[in-house]
Structure 1
Amino acid sequence: MSAPRILLLGSGELGREVVLSFQRLGAVVIAADSHPDASARAFADDSAVLDLTDADAVHAAIERFAPDILVPATESVAPEALAAAEAAGLSVVPSARRTRLMLDREALRRLAADELGLPTAPFWFAGGIDELGAIAAHAGYPLVVKPLSALPGEGQSVLLRADDIEAAWHRAAPAGGGTPGRVLVESVVEVDDEVTLLAVRTGESVAPGFCEPIGHRHVAGVLEAWQPAPMTPVALDSARSIAARVVTALGGRGLFGVELLVRGDEVYFADVTVLPHDSALVTLRTQRLSALDLHARAVLRLPVDTIMISPGAVEVSYLPGARDNLSGALSVPETDVMLFPAPLGPVGTGRSRFEVVSATAPTVAGARERARQAAQALRGNPLTGSTT
């Protein structure tokens, strides 16, 4: 059997881990990225520097490397290049259509709410400050204003009064990526948890498999995530039903990160990510196959399993600062640390990870406490409380 050739479009820190997951399964990986110092390029079998938003540049890379499979690892890939490659018979994972929809939150939300009938928070779309003000006057406060295409939390604001409208518009509209000049407006829904449900699919005719739900929260430049997130049996069934419907509608294969809002037995659809965001890093410790390994297997149409081997938690920091006590952090039982070099992009955009601290324990509460204490120790803060 000849080794499959994979062109990975996007080669940052997590791209490096994706490269290794593919290589362990015998694939030849070509890593392409817009930045010459992208981490994955040093680990790949071949590499290229190109503007991923330039359709001609992406097409030239396809001609040069003749891959069997295209795997976007970032949302910043020209969707028209992926569509043309798929139309020419090249396998695009998960699919060109899904990648396009991930860049257009308006089309995705209308698919979920209008075509699939999935429960969502009440929402509207605004094309200017005046329209945003009219929506606020009609819907009332508070409201959440989001870009139509951005990383989770990027460009997002909460409207509490009319005086917030102009600032919220200017914060969200420039972050809209491929859909400038329009924003998503949502009513605030009181929820217990924000949850990511990872769904893995190995082919069009294969029902998706699900990992245990991942809870997460983002506070002051730090993402905390834990697995499993506690959910009632009714809520978990609803979450899997919602994820299965949206994944089937999007088509293709690979790993899908379905973002959900949970309140008791009620579950609301929020988003689907091209690749699961950083909350999925908890699976590096909690599952037999991490999210990245599951994605690689699904891309190559290989058998998968979603077995969780231990409760766990991570803290991901996007804030620069001292990291002087690695020994102290690793002295906390069942912990691990991943440190990243200086960011390739501007600091403070939410795109640059500085460290990932992970921990396991017999319980989720114990794992979260261990991750918190290890993160404090790493930055030179004294440990408090038990570390067992």
Structure 2
Amino acid sequence: MKDSMFSKKRILILGSGELGKELVIESKRLGLEVIAIDRYENAPAMQVADYSSVIDMGDKNILKNVIKEFNPDFVVPEIEALSIEALKELEEEGFNIVPNARTVEITMNRDKIRDLASRDLKIKTAKFDYIYNFDDLGGKTDKIGFPLLLKPLMSSSGKGQTLVESKNDLNHAWSQAQANSRGKVKGVIIEEFINFDFEFTLLTVRKESGENIFCLPIGHLQSNGDYQCSWQPLDINESLICEAKKMTNKILNNLNGAGLYGVEFFVKGNEVIFSELSPRPHDTGMVTLVSQNINEFELHLRAFLNLPIPYISLIEPSATRVILADKDYINPIYEGLNKALEVEKTKVLIFGKPVSRKGRRMGVVLASNKDINLARENADKARRRIKVRSN
């Protein structure tokens, strides 16, 4: 890419939530022109993009027409709920899909990524099976054993995931999965419940050359499949990191698309178990906004724009804690920001979502300290001082 032409590059982001917003901000710092697309007005990324459009991204013809109208140099999916058929056809017509249409398709469906990892690449995962008819559920759950997790084949942020303790819970779990499924896929995946010691994210940058660059592991905690807090660095045995890197290399060498990937793992004893993969900046990776010299959003851009990526280093141990809404509000306000920002070396990011729902992520607290435990404590302390209220 010639430097003189760089500022004329145009990217179109599909999905305009908080991660998309940070990607737009980093894009503007590099002089890019950005179009933000989502299914509702005034989504976070739209508030900072050059142009925006509200469409049904699941409709193939609508999605294709909008992308062709804006004619971007790169199409950057930030969500799973979109028409993969549109992306495939556009890629065949010469549009650059990040990282590529095949990777987007495989990672947006839990069955496809699980089949690739477990069956094709022989990577250790939890035991699993797929069910497309409720009548088949009972027999297949017996093979997995209780407790188990039941999830939609396609969803986001843990929506529709249920811990099933016995057969008496299956009806409710099935209903939850169907109600929260994204796209046209209505099946579910049942998965062995692993009582793991901890879980972590390995942010990995894949360059156009095929080289994979690893960030320091990020520890995180989840509730109902949705991230609550994260921290970097993570105190973890080097042998476990090496094993996670081997698994990641196997997967990314197969997917082979430039960009940043969030790869999640469980650790139980001395065993590393592959969990999930997202071909885009990861929610747990928001900690890199303060922890690293190059954050995950800039890394994603540098990778698919084929820009240099120098050594990725830790600036200071850092942690995040999400700000959740406890009720449904229109145009919510935030009390306690002044008290939260009194906490040393702490930042608060309000995402700017126009509507809150119970349990919805509305912002995040970022805290740094020479001691990672103090960073985590300060993130928690600041978060407790913030309340989402009605306007």
Equivalent residue, structure 2, for 1:64: 69
Q: Distance in 2 between matches of 1:332 and 1:77?
A: 40
The one-letter amino acid of 1:373's match is: K
Q: Which runs of 5+ in 1 are unaligned?
A: 381-388
Structure 2 unaligned regions, length at least 5: 328-332
The Cα shift of 1:343 comes to 4.2
Q: Could you tell me which of 346, 370, 378 is aligned with 1:335?
A: 346
Structure 1 letter corresponding to 2:357: V
Q: CA deviation at 1:165?
A: 1.2
Match 1:95 to one of 75, 100, 106: 100
CA distance in 2, matches of 1:166, 1:333: 48
Contact in 2 for aligned 1:173/1:180 (Cα 8 Å) = no
Judge conservation of contact 1:232–1:264 (CA < 8 Å) in 2.
no
Matching of residue 9 in structure 1 with residue 14 in structure 2: yes
Residue 325, structure 1, aligned to residue 336, structure 2: yes
Change (3 A) 1:42 1:164: closer
Paired with 1:272 and 1:222, the residues of 2 have a C-alpha distance of 14
Q: CA deviation at 1:342?
A: 4.5
Counterpart for residue 357 of structure 2 = 347
Q: Secondary structure at the match of 2:261?
A: strand
User: For residue 384 of structure 1, what is the aligned residue in structure 2?
Assistant: none
Q: CA deviation at 1:222?
A: 6.8
1:13, distance to aligned residue in structure 2 (A): 2.9
Q: Does structure 1 conserve the Cα–Cα contact (< 8 Å) formed by 2:13 and 2:75? A: yes
SS at match of 2:52: strand
One-letter code of the match for 1:173?
Answer: Q
Distance 1:330 1:117 in 2: 47
Partner of 2:129: 124
Query: 1:226, CA displacement in angstroms?
Result: 0.9
Alignment correspondent of 1:208: 212
Between stretches 30-39 and 297-306, larger displacement belongs to 30-39
Match runs of 1:370-381 below 5 Å = 370-379=378-387
What TM-score, normalized to structure 2?
0.90
Residues of 2 paired with 1:342 and 1:16: CA distance? 11
Identity %: 36
Q: 1:146 to 1:89 in 2, by over 3 A?
A: same
Whole-angstrom distance in 1 between the partners of 2:286 and 2:77: 18
Matches of 2:227 and 2:237, distance apart in 1: 27
Match of 1:360 among 348, 368, 373: 368
Aligned partners of 2:81 and 2:183 also within 8 Å: no
Counterpart in the other structure of 2:180: 175
- 1:272 equivalent to 2:277? Answer yes
Q: 1:342 to 1:139 in 2, by over 3 A?
A: closer
Conserved? CA contact 2:259–2:279, under 8 Å: no
Opposite residue 360 of structure 1, the aligned amino acid is S
Contact preservation (8 Å) 2:11, 2:34: yes
SS, match of residue 335 in structure 2? coil
SS of the residue corresponding to residue 164 of structure 1 reads helix
Deviations 1:3-52 (A, max 9, x none): 21212222233322211211212222222222221232232233323222
- Identify the residue that residue 293 of structure 1 maps to in structure 2: 298
Q: Aligned match of 1:232 in 206, 231, 237?
A: 237
AA of the residue aligned to 2:265? L
How many angstroms apart in 2 are the aligned matches of 1:343 and 1:223? 21
Q: Secondary structure of the equivalent of 1:279?
A: helix
TM-score (norm 1): 0.91
Equivalent pair of 1:320/1:354 in contact (CA under 8 Å) = no
* SS of match in other structure, 1:58: helix
Distance of 1:179 and 1:161 partners within structure 2: 28
Contact 1:195 1:261 in 2 (8 A): yes
Give the structure 2 partner of residue 39 of structure 1: 44
What is aligned with 2:57?
52
The answer to whether the 8 Å contact 1:231/1:264 transfers is: no
Q: Distance in 2 between matches of 1:270 and 1:342?
A: 29
Task: Provide the aligned length of Structure 1 versus Structure 2.
Answer: 376
Matched, 1:218 2:199: no
Deviations 1:229-259 (A, max 9, x none): 2211110000111111111211211110111
Contact 2:261/2:282 (<8 A) preserved: no
